[in-house]
Structure 1
Amino acid sequence: MEKVRVPVTVDPVKSSGKQLSYDGVVPAGSLVRLQELLLEPCADVDVQLQFDVDEQNIKYIEGKAEVATVVACERCNEAMSIVLQTEFKYAPITKRQKADELPSDYEAVELDELGEVNLHRMVEDELILAMPVVVKHDDKDCSIDSNAMSWGKIDDSPEPSENPFAVLQKLKRK
């Protein structure tokens, strides 16, 4: 069964009131910033979104996203596959729902001039945040032995005895 395409923008307040949900995909072509971090273009992102209202009457968006990607190992610079997975929970900022009043369970999201939120950008932001800080193979899978790596030699020769600023001192006297 083919999954439906998640809409680009949606009104999260109305969607929460209707308790809408999406089980679909965000097209890979709309994730330009994520694609720039990858060696190969990724497939469409599997996304599950649920709009709802909690016990405190806070309207929110809860979601999960997952995509298989190919990135460069920062140690050997060879291709490696990683699966990016993320879970998130946002609450839209409105006149009634202020960012500083939200419980810590929610991340605040601002609405555009039409009162909508860009779901594709939200999912892309979350996937970028899910990227490892340093992408590298496990030691056993990497073509470069991390124990054999060297970062250059430190020169053991003594420091020069002449003051490096002596030339400036001579110029100052002229």
Structure 2
Amino acid sequence: MAEAALPKRLDAIRFVDNETVLNGSLDMNLFKRFQEAVEDVNGPVVYKLAFQRDADDHMFIDGECSTKATMVCQRCLDAVVLEVRGKFEIGLAFSDEKAKHLPKHYEPAIMDHNGNIDPWELVEDELILALPMFAYHADGECEARQPKADTEQVGVTEKEDNPFAVLQQLKSK
């Protein structure tokens, strides 16, 4: 297992052939798209990328990444700090056409003609995909208290008008 700085471009084929595992942490200030999607980032991005081949000789990256981010709670509109975790299997291919032949459980990633990829972009994409659609505080922690529903049964005292009563009168004439 290798503990190294994550390069901006890497030779994915060589990493797969060597069954390289990269893990470490990255400065969140370098992930501009993720920062635009949240209110604030509360720590570094921790990542692990394992380059492998499956039984059918498909190259893939088994990875995970996590960080903490501040978002706006949709109940109380206050800040809520959430753990953002992404776990993924990315199949590597040289073209869109070859990516269509990857097993369905792989998310495809296209390498350039030399077999290089941008692992930073992959990690950032996975973090963005791991964001919740709507952020909420845990039950009982939200400042905005939801009103309790009135559980008392209300009986119907008035006789409801039958909308077909007029038709009944016309029929009887």
Compute the TM-score of the two structures, normalised by the length of structure 1: 0.75
Q: Could you say which residue in structure 1 is the equivalent of 2:142?
A: 142
Pairwise CA RMSD = 2.0
Tell me by how many angstroms 1:73 deviates.
0.9
Compute the TM-score of the two structures, normalised by the length of structure 2: 0.76
Distance in 2 (CA, whole Å) between partners of 1:147 and 1:104 is 45
The aligned amino acid for 2:52 is D
Q: Could you say which residue in structure 1 is the equivalent of 2:17?
A: 17
Distance in 2 (CA, whole Å) between partners of 1:25 and 1:139 is 31
The runs of at least 4 consecutive aligned structure 1 residues that moved more than 4 Å come to: none
Q: Could you say which residue in structure 1 is the equivalent of 2:85?
A: 85
The aligned amino acid for 1:34 is F
113 and 101 in structure 1: CA distance in 2 versus 1, 3 angstrom threshold: closer
Count of equivalent residues: 145
Structure 2, unmatched stretches of 5+, are 149-173
Distance in 2 (CA, whole Å) between partners of 1:93 and 1:135 is 34
Return the index of the structure with the highest Cα Rg: 2
Tell me by how many angstroms 1:25 deviates.
1.6
Tell me by how many angstroms 1:110 deviates.
1.0
Distance in 2 (CA, whole Å) between partners of 1:22 and 1:141 is 37
Tell me by how many angstroms 1:75 deviates.
2.1
Tell me by how many angstroms 1:16 deviates.
0.4
The aligned amino acid for 2:43 is A
Q: Could you say which residue in structure 1 is the equivalent of 2:62?
A: 62
Structure 1, unmatched stretches of 5+, are 149-174
* 1:71–1:80 contact (8 Å) kept in structure 2: yes
Distance in 1 (CA, whole Å) between partners of 2:119 and 2:75 is 34
Show the 5 A alignment for 1:1-174.
4-94=4-94, 98-112=98-112, 114-147=114-147
* 1:90–1:106 contact (8 Å) kept in structure 2: yes
Tell me by how many angstroms 1:30 deviates.
1.6
117 and 42 in structure 1: CA distance in 2 versus 1, 3 angstrom threshold: farther
Cα deviation code 1:52-107 (max 9, x no counterpart): 11111111111011111221112222111110111111111127x81121112211
SS in 1 for 2:17: helix
Tell me by how many angstroms 1:114 deviates.
4.7
Cα deviation code 1:130-154 (max 9, x no counterpart): 1111111134111112337xxxxxx
Which sits farther off after the overlay, 129-138 or 113-122? Answer: 113-122
